[in-house]
Amino acid sequence: MRITIIGSGNVATHLAAAFKNAGHRIMQVYSRDMQHAALLAYHVGAEPVDSLNQINSETDLFVISIKDDVIGQIAEKLSSYNKLIVHTSGATHLEAIQAFTPNAGVFYPLQTLSKTKEVDFRTVPICIEGADEQITGQLIELAQTISNKVYRVNSAQRKVLHLAAVFACNFPNYLYGVAQQLLAKNEMDFDLLRPLILETAQKVQDHPPADVQTGPAVRNDQQTMAMHLAMLGDEPALKVIYELLSQEIIKNDNDRAAG
Amino acid sequence: MRITIIGSGNVATHLAAAFKNAGHRIMQVYSRDMQHAALLAYHVGAEPVDSLNQINSETDLFVISIKDDVIGQIAEKLSSYNKLIVHTSGATHLEAIQAFTPNAGVFYPLQTLSKTKEVDFRTVPICIEGADEQITGQLIELAQTISNKVYRVNSAQRKVLHLAAVFACNFPNYLYGVAQQLLAKNEMDFDLLRPLILETAQKVQDHPPADVQTGPAVRNDQQTMAMHLAMLGDEPALKVIYELLSQEIIKNDNDRAAG
């Protein structure tokens, strides 16, 4: 497929490389910043452009991978070429593109991507939505050339998925930081906890989280919880977080026992 | 070294196997339940016993790996043999053994261990405390025969470590479950989030958590956070958790910027 990449950020970079590796042809890379466009374009054998006026209409697909709030205005400009246009945003409705063209879709890779870190794209879930069945089918086929995990996810579901990812990724990472700070205050290195963090994430790869819940809350070990709360005495926010999450773990476990 | 294992649970099982593989000799395995004792003893070529009266004094080390609240009474009984005695508990003071003998120590493997899941013990941090320098040195040497990650951690630090592990392991696992339930309610499979969970844990293996924090809170994206809170409308506890954790992420990030 001939693909034009709009954007040069983390998602654009990883996607362009994955498409290229799968044998697709990257026609152009657009970025407002010519240096950024040139860097990515060089890697994937494409032409860099920094103006939408230089867009080559000889392409099959525009992949818009830029800030959520400018997806609409870029889609509007690209719609004149009558080619398929997708965005890669978890939080943006299909409507942002569909308002300007029926050739609209979403191609959302659900992973935390950093330019400096290699990722095996075949393991990255890709969430597909098309404005019609024909487009959906075409995008699923394209996604399968770069990933083994392709899902149909509509705009309402994608919104929930984005929220769930905050609970599954952003909040755990914050809690890792809390643990690190507790250790640092007591002259211990975060390396002590790193294997535990990794194993905890690995366990839920083949178990439901509730089945592998451990710790004082799920054992309803009131003595340990009281001691932990006392230790957090000078950290009111952490104390509330500890109490609230522990209560919910206990409640969940009771619900399971009852159900 | 000749080692006697008191207990047959997850930690006892993994430790006994690791010692055996490193060339140590497991003398006996004690459990109140003879079947449990026999199963583990068989695996590590030891004699199973279900009564403390059958304990063979021809050993160098007793490893007590049983419920926290009975460590003391077992240590008291074993103290008559005048051999080194350690427990493997994160939440128990050295004093639980030291009250009965000066030959006391702690040998605490910091990992979430399940009998059914293999673990590479060389990657498991082992936290060592000895009643004196000679014992500490001896236990560090022993720990290094089974793990590459051996740390000196005193009883006060170990208590903090245990608390930090709740934040780094138990609470994230609960949040994975929240994400799973949000998906299930909207007919999506948890497989969609599993790669993200693993990558999030992998990222902090070589970065401080605050450096790789992502999501709406660290971007202070008020619009997305307001939308997420509205979506959690019928889940008051999740709403409070979302607000509280987001506030702390924003606060942390401001502190970093200021510092």
Nearest to A105 by CA among A124, A87, A82: A87
Compute the distance between CA of residue B66 and CA of residue B70 in angstroms, rounded to an integer. 7
Paired with B151 in beta bridges are B127
Neighbours of A29 (CB within 10 A): 28
Compute the distance between CA of residue B162 and CA of residue B140 in angstroms, rounded to an integer. 20
Compute the distance between CA of residue B227 and CA of residue B141 in angstroms, rounded to an integer. 55
pLDDT digits (tens, 9 = 90+) for A214-235: 888 998 889 899 999 999 988 9
**Mean pLDDT value across chain B:** 94
Cα distance between the two ends of chain B: 51
Q: How confident is the model at residue A146, as a pLDDT? A: 97
Q: How confident is the model at residue B256, as a pLDDT? A: 81
CATH of domain A2-153: 3.40.50.720
Best residue in A200, A229, A247 to probe B by mutation, most B CBs within 10 Å? A200
- CATH of the structural domain B159-258, one choice from 3.40.50.720, 1.25.40.20, 1.10.1040.20, 3.40.50.2000: 1.10.1040.20
Per-residue pLDDT band for B259 (boundaries 50, 70, 90) equals low
pLDDT exceeds cutoff 80 at B171:
yes
Neighbours of A122 (CB within 10 A): 11
Q: Residues for chain A: how many in total?
A: 259
- Residue type (1 letter), B180: Q
Best residue in A108, A113, A192 to probe B by mutation, most B CBs within 10 Å? A192
Q: How confident is the model at residue A253, as a pLDDT? A: 83
Please tell me the least confidently modeled range out of A216-220, B57-61, B228-232: A216-220
Q: What is the DSSP letter of A239?
A: H
B172 vs A68: which has the higher pLDDT: B172
Query: Across A66-103, where does the E strand assignment appear?
Result: 84-87
What does DSSP say about strands A150-152 and B2-6: parallel, antiparallel, or unpaired? unpaired
Tally A–B CB contacts below 8 A: 298
Q: Tell me how close the Cα of B79 comes to any Cα of chain A, in angstroms.
A: 27
| Helix, strand, or coil (residue A85) | strand
Nearest to B94 by CA among B145, B152, B164: B152
B184 interface with A at CB cutoff 8 Å: no
pLDDT digits (tens, 9 = 90+) for B109-142: 998 777 777 788 999 999 999 999 999 999 999 9
A183 interface with B at CB cutoff 8 Å: yes
Q: How confident is the model at residue A234, as a pLDDT? A: 87
A173 interface with B at CB cutoff 8 Å: yes
Neighbours of A220 (CB within 10 A): 13
Paired with A107 in beta bridges are A128
A116 interface with B at CB cutoff 8 Å: no
Q: How confident is the model at residue A259, as a pLDDT? A: 64
Same-fold call for A2-153 versus A159-258: no
Q: Which two tokens stand for residue B109?
A: 């493997």
pLDDT digits (tens, 9 = 90+) for B19-31: 999 999 999 999 9
Rg (CA), chain B: 23
A217 interface with B at CB cutoff 8 Å: yes
User: Which residues are CB-contacts of B16 (< 8 A; sequence separation ≥ 6)?
Assistant: B3, B5, B26, B29, B40, B43, B44, B46
User: Which stretches of chain A score pLDDT less than 70?
Assistant: 259
Q: How confident is the model at residue B234, as a pLDDT? A: 87
Percent of chain B residues topping a pLDDT of 70 = 100
Q: With an 8 Å Cβ cutoff, are B160 and A188 in contact?
A: yes
Q: How confident is the model at residue B136, as a pLDDT? A: 98
Compute the distance between CA of residue B171 and CA of residue B175 in angstroms, rounded to an integer. 6
Closest CB to B217 among A170, A192, A198: A170
Q: Check: CB of residue B55 under 8 Å from CB of residue B81.
A: yes
Q: Check: CB of residue B6 under 8 Å from CB of residue B30.
A: yes
Domain boundaries, chain A: 2-153, 159-258
| Helix, strand, or coil (residue B224) | helix
Best residue in B89, B128, B176, B189 to probe A by mutation, most A CBs within 10 Å? B176
